[in-house]
Amino acid sequence: MYSIMILLYLVVVVAIGVFFKTKVKNMEDFALAGRNLNTPVLLGTLFATYIGGATVVGWTGSFYSLGIDWWFSGVGALLGIVAATFLAEKFRDSEQFTVPDMLALRYNNSTRFVSSFMIIIGDIAIVTVQILAMTGILVSFTDIDRMPAMIISIISFTLISLFGGMKGVAFTDTLQAVLILAGLIAGVGFVFNLGGGPGEVFGGLPEGYFTPLTDVTVLGAIGMAIAAFGTTAVSQSMIFSRVFSAKDSKTAKRGLVLLIPLSLIGYGLVALVGFSGRSLLGGDITPDEVFATVITNLMPPFIGGVLIAVIIAAIVTSTNSILLSSSINLTRDFYQQLVKRELTSKEMMRAGQLSVVVFAALAFTLAVLMPDIVTAIVFAYTMYSASLLVPLYAGYLWKGATAAAGTSGVIGGGGTALLWYLLNEPFGIPSMIPAIIVSLALVIGVSKFTR
């Protein structure tokens, strides 16, 4: 039953994405849905991308093992959305395409190239991880072997972005946002019923499970919050490409404001799945396997199939967004800047579509040849977040930041994160913390000595 539900769902989602091929006429259609997303669609695509595969699967295991302490990450992520609302209207009014566009407007083209390079590397890394995650689900819950599962995964990711562009991505995201919310609500309701109600489920949790700072130190909690905040606040494929796609600046800001309570609901439902798993299954399950174990051990086939579709929906939406984002970065921030003639909108769109295929092929190759470097390539995403956070927000919230400071902040933040990671995060301090400190110091210090 799982096989039929999963494959049928993938066919439907890909078909919807490909349908939007007829709606994509130029670069603005491909990259930004013609800058015409209304509030419901904008909110749907933001939510579906935020509550992605990493959140549904990874955060379920984290809540399972750390209890309420994992909410420090949740608070950090929500504050990242709040921070983005301060730039939403300004960014939408700018009529740009990418975050490096905005950095180039505020600083110079050197900042554009450095930031775009880091974004592209991070995005390829995450697409590789998403291929492996989707492959694991298909292998675990269907009769499909590993290589065919990898091929199905990359084809599903690529077709929606390639043909539908942001229009296809946004509308399939909205459909999947409904499925994610409905699936999580149904799953939580069923598990609570199975466990005898919320009181019985919560009563079966370990002592101190809901006491803050039981399983993490104060420094660890701060690190979790800052890491989640930094990643959320600058995740271009999650926020700002949607902001640029809104029909106007008011819609852009309204979508982000509404995303805050909706994300809180999503995080809360994921937390309840993790808490229920700990109560009903005990504490001996590996965190990465908690969600799958809850499905196979506690759910009837239909509800389990819906929740598997939820994971697939989350992975597909996140990956579509990232593929589209990286292709636009390459097209706008390198190809368009380096080519020696004026490009038409249709030529730009073709270049963007070609970039989608190139990035998908590269990520697929990495997934096939080097699946054991997942931890390292995931870090690439953290490095790009660390490099962009301070220069982006300092540039648009502080008039004193200079061009040299912006470029220095990008390089210093990313470089510090990489060095700290290679040193195995001394003193248990996450890479994001020293990276932000160094980046902030460079932006302020260099600004004081340059014009």
Segment 377-407, tens digit of pLDDT: 667 767 778 888 899 899 888 989 999 999 9
The answer to whether residues 263 and 255 touch, using CB atoms and an 8 Å cutoff, is no
Identify whether 104 is part of a domain. Answer: no
Q: What's the number of domains the chain is made of? A: 1
Q: What is the pLDDT of residues 395-439, one digit of tens each?
A: 888 989 999 999 999 999 989 988 888 888 888 788 888 999 999
The reply to whether 223 falls in a domain is yes
Residue pLDDT, tens place only, 83-118: 889 888 888 888 888 888 888 888 988 888 888 888
Q: Is residue 220 part of a domain?
A: yes
- What are the tokens at 393? 């927000």
Which pLDDT score is estimated for 208?
Answer: 86
Q: Is residue 130 part of a domain?
A: yes
Say if 450 falls within a structural domain.
no
213: domain CATH number? 1.20.1730.10
Please state the pTM of the whole predicted model: 0.84
The stretches of 142-217 forming alpha helices (DSSP H) are 146-159, 165-194, 198-203
Evaluate whether 139 touches 292 at the Cβ level (below 8 Å): no
Model pLDDT for residues 194-237, shown as the tens digit of each residue: 889 999 999 999 888 888 888 888 888 888 888 788 777 776 55
Full domain range(s) for residue 170: 2-17+38-94+120-334+342-371
Across 26-40, 121-135, 259-273, 368-382, the highest mean pLDDT is recorded for 259-273
Between residues 382 and 440, the one the model is more confident about? 440
As given in the structure block, the two tokens for residue 373 are 């470097």
User: Is 245 a residue whose pLDDT tops 60?
Assistant: yes
Mean pLDDT score, 157-183? 81
* Residue 326 belongs to a domain: yes
Phi-psi region of 401 (alpha: psi -120 to 50; beta: other; left: phi over 0): beta
| 66 located within any domain | yes
Q: Is residue 100 part of a domain?
A: no
